[in-house]
Structures are given as C-alpha cells and as structure tokens.
Amino acid sequence: MTVLLEVRGLRVVFDGFAAVDGLDLTVEEGELRFLIGPNGAGKTTLVDVVTGLTRPVAGSVRFAGRELVGKREHEVVRLGVGRTFQTATVFEELTVVENLDLAACFRMPLRSLLRRRRGVSDEVAAALAETGLTALADRPAGVLPHGQRRWLEIGMLLVQRPRLLLLDEPVAGMSRAERERTGELLHRVAAARTVVVVEHDMEFLRRYARKVTVLHQGRVLREGSVAEVQADPEVREVYLGR
Ligand code: ADP
C-alpha cells in the first residue's frame, strides 16, 4: 500500500498549551480512517494543520511525498486535500447544482472558466449522483434539510477532485436515516479516494468504521478496529467510559 499522509512529531502550541504534542499518524491511499478522542484531544487542530490553517511549532506533514507545513490553505487544496468544517458551509441562495458548479470552478484556471459552456458538466452530474442529490439539483441550497446540506458540501469537495478528504463530524445533528445514508456515502467516496473523518458517534463508528485512531492529549493513544480500541482499558478510561 502507498502512504498518502504521513504526520511525524507534530506539535502545535496555543498560548503555551500544547494542543498537539508529538503526534505521529500514517494514512494509506484508499483508506477510510476515523479519528476519535475526547473533547480537546487535538483532532480539529490536526485537521487544521494538514489543511494549512494552523502552523505547528515542530513536525512534518507529508502528503503524497510533499511537505504541507508552510503551505497556505489554497496551495493545500490545489495539491488535492479537501475538507469540511463542523458546520455546513453552502451558498444558500444558489441551487444545489449551482453550488456544485461554483465549487468545480475553484480548481480551474481562469481561462478555461471563460471558455466553459453552460450546462451541467459530467463531474457535477457525477457528484449529484454520488451524493444522492440529483432529484434536488434545482432546489435552493438554503431550503435543504441539514443532512442534504452536508451531502452537498461533500459533493462540493468531490468536484474539486481531491485525493484526500478530511471531514469534521459529518453526521453530527443528523437523523438515524441520514446517518445511514452518510455512512454509505463515505464508503462510496472512499472507494476511489482517501477519507479521514473526525467522528464521535460510537454507534456510527461500530457500523461503518474499519480502522480507528484514538487521540488523547494531542497524540495517538491507540489504533485499530472499533472492537479493539473499545476493548482497550486506557481508551475506555479516557474516552469511552465517560
Ligand atoms: P478536539 O477537536 O479533539 O476537540 P481541538 O483540536 O479543537 O480538540 O482542541 C485541542 C485543544 O487546543 C483544546 O484544549 C482547545 O481548547 C485548544 N485550542 C484549539 N484551538 C485553539 C486556539 N485557536 N487557541 C487556543 N486554544 C485552542
């Protein structure tokens, strides 16, 4: 297997407090990896570093053999890393298909944008199908229920053709049915790409996660299947036993 993301000795300090403290993590190409851990474990900070939002004081983040530390957010996106945030960010006044079209523009050179003909491109149609939003293509994003907004957001990443998607709590606030569709969507997305998901919902993890990394106090505490990490006494103490 090819290593796609390799984090070594990562350290992030906020006002003298080490939010990430000597973190090592390896993700192979094609994995669907879940990151869990108690509040404040450093999960979002890790994602922020990978995406160029936060600078570490030490360590490296290699993506497809290139160093990401020191790169700006748009450079990281261009190299093939896409991310969603804890709250959905879609353009409410635009329709579903317009949101996807706009997101597809983000990665295009300006000249090819000028030459673009109107109509739904193949990749936008594919993203609509992959996220299950084809029938809602012309609906304004602002009227979509929470779950569909989050799927649209994932679609907006897909049209930018990332090799790695980082999703921060994608099923938070979703109904049971929406969580199930999201689990299936994540597996579909990961069939052709690499996906790292920050997620708390244990029932969801038991159902959809194969490999889980447990973070605690800014570093990796355990890694393994959901059953393995759940059976670990240290993990139970810091996280699952709450
Ligand atoms: P998690 O996502 O696992 O809940 P975070 O990465 O959000 O954890 O936070 C890790 C620690 O770093 C927490 O103690 C949090 O309060 C702190 N932290 C995160 N971002 C900042 C910031 N911008 N300024 C100061 N402290 C921060």
Q: Residue 112: its pLDDT value, please?
A: 65
Give the residue, out of 15, 45, 85, with the most ligand 1 atoms within 8 A of its beta carbon, to mutate for a pocket test. Answer: 45
Q: Is 213 close to ligand 1, i.e. is its CB under 6 Å away?
A: no
Q: Residue 109: its pLDDT value, please?
A: 65
Tens digit of each residue's pLDDT (9 = 90 or more) over 12-38: 999 999 999 999 999 999 999 999 999
Residue from 166, 154, 200 nearest 73 by CA: 166
Class of the CATH-defined domain 3-240: alpha beta
pLDDT band at 89 (very low <50, low <70, confident <90, very high): confident
Q: Return the residue matching tokens 């012309």.
A: 138
Q: What are phi and psi of 126, to 5 degrees?
A: -65, -40
As to burial, measured by CB atoms within 10 angstroms (0-12 exposed, 13-18 middle, 19+ buried), residue 176 is exposed
Q: What are phi and psi of 204, to 5 degrees?
A: -65, -45
- Half-sphere exposure of residue 12: CA atoms within 13 angstroms, side-chain side: 27
Residue nearest to atom 18 of ligand 1 (CA): 19
pTM of the complete model: 0.92
Question: Is the pLDDT at 42 greater than 80, yes or no?
Answer: yes
Q: Residue 105: its pLDDT value, please?
A: 81
Q: Give the integer Cα–Cα distance in Å for 104 and 158.
A: 9
The two tokens of residue 203 are 């029932």
Residue from 16, 74, 73 nearest 47 by CA: 73
Give the residue, out of 14, 49, 196, with the most ligand 1 atoms within 8 A of its beta carbon, to mutate for a pocket test. Answer: 14
Q: Residue 194: its pLDDT value, please?
A: 97
154 CB contacts (<8 Å, ≥6 apart)?
A: 84, 131, 165, 167, 170, 185, 189
CA–centroid distance, 60 to ligand 1, in Å, is 19
Question: Is the pLDDT at 180 greater than 70, yes or no?
Answer: yes
Ligand 1 atom showing the smallest separation from residue 42 Cα: 6
pLDDT band at 103 (very low <50, low <70, confident <90, very high): confident
